[in-house]
Chains A and B, each alone.
Chain A
Amino acid sequence: MSILESVMDPEIPVLSVIDLGILRDVKYESSVKPSGEWHIMITPTYSGCPAMDVIAINIRMALLQNGFHNFKIIQQLAPAWTTDWMTNEGKEKLRAYGIATPGITLDKKNLEHPEVICPLCRSVRTTLISQFGSTACKALYQCFDCKEPFDYFKCH
C-alpha cells in the first residue's frame, strides 16, 4: 500500500492513486501457479482519460522497483468511479493545490448546479466559465471577488 501511495496522478501530481479512489483493491491470489500473484484492481475516472495508461505504467514501475514481480494490474469498470471515493485528505491536497473540490453526489444539486468555493479566497461568489476544463474531470470557474479563474474538480 505504501508503495502505491507514491504513485501520483500525472495531471494532478499532488494526488496519489489512493487519494483519487482509482485504486480499488489489492489482493493476493494464492491459487495462481506457481507461487501466487498480487492483483492490483484499478478503475478509470473517465472512459477516455489519457492518464489511465500512464498511471498503470507508473504502478507497474513502482512495484518493479520495489522488488515485486508477480502481479497483475486489472482494470475494473463496475461500480463506476465517483468523486465520492476521493479521500478527505485528497480533497484537502487538491484545495491547497488551487483546485476547487467536489461535493457529494448524493446531493443532486452538486451534480447540476454546485456551489463552488474559490480555492484561493474562499468566496462562494463564483461562476461557471466552461463545463469542460483542462482535463475531462475538471470544469473552469471564475471568482467574482478575487477575479481569478480556477479549476473545479467536477462532482461525478
Chain B
Amino acid sequence: MEKASDLFKSSEVPGHLAGNIGKSLSSYCLHLADNSLIMGQRLSEWTGHGPMLEQDIAMSNIALDLIGQSRNFYQYAAAILNAGNMNTKNVNDSTEDTLAYFRDSGEFKNIILTELPNGDWGQTILKLFFFSTYQYLLYQRLSDSSDKQLAAIAAKSIKEVTYHVRWSSEWVVRLGDGTEESKQRMETSLDYLWNYTSEMFVPREFEIACTENKYGVDVVSLATDWNKEVGDILAEATLKKPEAGSIQIHGKKGIHTPYLDEILSEMQHLQRTYPGLQW
C-alpha cells in the first residue's frame, strides 16, 4: 500500500461522531476495511500462479479492488480515531498504514472466512463467491447509510463488487457443473467453507450500535437474500447446498485462526522491521 495520506485529506469527520458512537463507527470501519484487506491480500497470493494468464489477471484485479476499498475505509477510520483522540497504544496519529501494518491479529475484526487458505482454484473461487455476494448485499444497503462517507465508499465499491459476483458465479457454475474431478473438488470446498459463512450474519456490538444509529447495516437481514442468491447459483452448478452450520467463530471480536498471523507476518514484515519506510 502506498502512502496517499499526505496527498489526500478526503475524510471529514462530522462533530457528532465523538464518544461512543465514534468508537463504534471506527470499529465498524475497521471491520469493513479488515474484511476487504485480508480477502484481497489472500487473493493476491494467486498473482503469478493463476491457471492461465487471463484468470491470473482477473484474480489480481479483484485483489486490487478489495485493497483499494480497504484503503478508503481505513482512511475514514483513521480520521475518526484522530478526531476523537481514540488512538491506542503507541500510535498518536493513525493513518491507513498504521492501521494496516501496526495492529496485531487480536485487533483485526475481519470474518474468519476471509483469512482461510486459498486451497485449490475451486476453493478460492467459492470463497470469493460467498464473500462477494455478501459484500454486494451489504454495500447495497450501506450506500443508503446516514453517514455520508460510508455511503460514498459503498456506492463506489458496489460497482466493482458487481463484477466480482458475476465472475465468481460463472466459475462456480463452470466447475460445479464441469468434470467429475472439478465437481468433486467443489463439493469438498463447499463442505469446508460452508460453516464459516454463518459469521457474516451474526452482528457484534459495534455493528448493532451502528445499525441503531442508521450508519450501519443490519447483517441479520442480509441472510435471506444471501441464501437465495447463493442457493440459485449452487443449484445451477448442480451442487447441493449444505444444511446451516452452527459453529461459533468470533473473527469480528478479534479471535482468529493462526492463518491470520501467517498473513500478517508476511504483510506487516517490512513496516515492522523498518517503520515508516516508503517507496
Chain A residues at the B interface, C-beta cutoff of 8 Å: 44, 46-50, 52-53, 56-57, 60, 72-81, 111-112, 129-136, 140, 154, 156
Contact = CB atoms under 8 A, between A and B. Distances in A.
A77 B156 contact: yes
Interface string B150-175: 01110111011011001100000000
B66 A48 contact: yes
Contacts of A73: 7-8
Contacts of A131: 58, 163, 166-167
Contacts of A133: 57
Task: Please report whether the interface of chain B is mostly helix, strand, loop or mixed according to DSSP.
Answer: helix
Nearest to A42: B8
Nearest to B9: A74
Interface of B: 2, 4, 7-10, 40, 54-55, 57-58, 61-69, 71-72, 148-149, 151-153, 155-157, 159-160, 162-163, 166-167
B67 A48 contact: yes
Given A46-B65, A74-B9, A131-B166, A81 B156 contact: yes
Given A57-B7, A73-B8, A48 B69 contact: yes
9 contacts: A44-B156, A48-B40, A74-B10, A78-B156, A80-B152, A112-B166, A130-B55, A131-B58, A132-B167
A80 B157 CA distance: 9
Given A53-B4, A72-B9, A77-B152, A48 B68 contact: yes
Contacts of A79: 155
A57 B162 CA distance: 30
A132 to B, nearest CB: 4
B241 to A, nearest CB: 25
B8 A47 contact: no
A76 B69 contact: no
A23 B148 CA distance: 21
Nearest to A78: B152
Contacts of B66: 48
B54 A77 contact: no
B167 A80 contact: no
Given A57-B7, A111-B162, 5 more contacts: A47-B68, A48-B67, A75-B7, A78-B152, A80-B155
